[in-house]
Chains A and B, each alone.
Chain A
Amino acid sequence: DSGVTQTPKHLITATGQRVTLRCSPRSGDLSVYWYQQSLDQGLQFLIQYYNGEERAKGNILERFSAQQFPDLHSELNLSSLELGDSALYFCASSSHRESYEQYFGPGTRLTVT
Chain B
Amino acid sequence: DQQVKQNSPSLSVQEGRISILNCDYTNSMFDYFLWYKKYPAEGPTFLISISSIKDKNEDGRFTVFLNKSAKHLSLHIVPSQPGDSAVYFCAASVGSGNTPLVFGKGTRLSVIA
Contact = CB atoms under 8 A, between A and B. Distances in A.
Interface residues of B, number: 26
Interface string A51-64: 00001101000000
B28 interface: no
Nearest to A107: B43
Interface residues of A, number: 32
Nearest to B31: A100
Given A40-B105, A43-B89, A43-B103, A99 B45 contact: no
A99 B97 contact: yes
A106 B38 CA distance: 10
Contacts of A56: 99-100
Nearest to A55: B98
B44 interface: yes
Interface in B33-50: 34, 36, 41-46, 49
B18 to A, nearest CB: 24
Interface in A64-113: 90, 92, 94-107
A106 B92 CA distance: 21
B44 A100 contact: no
A43 B6 CA distance: 13
Interface string B46-63: 100100000000000000
Contacts of A92: 43
Interface string B69-113: 000000000000000000001010100111111111110000000
Interface of B: 4, 6, 32, 34, 36, 41-46, 49, 89, 91, 93, 96-106
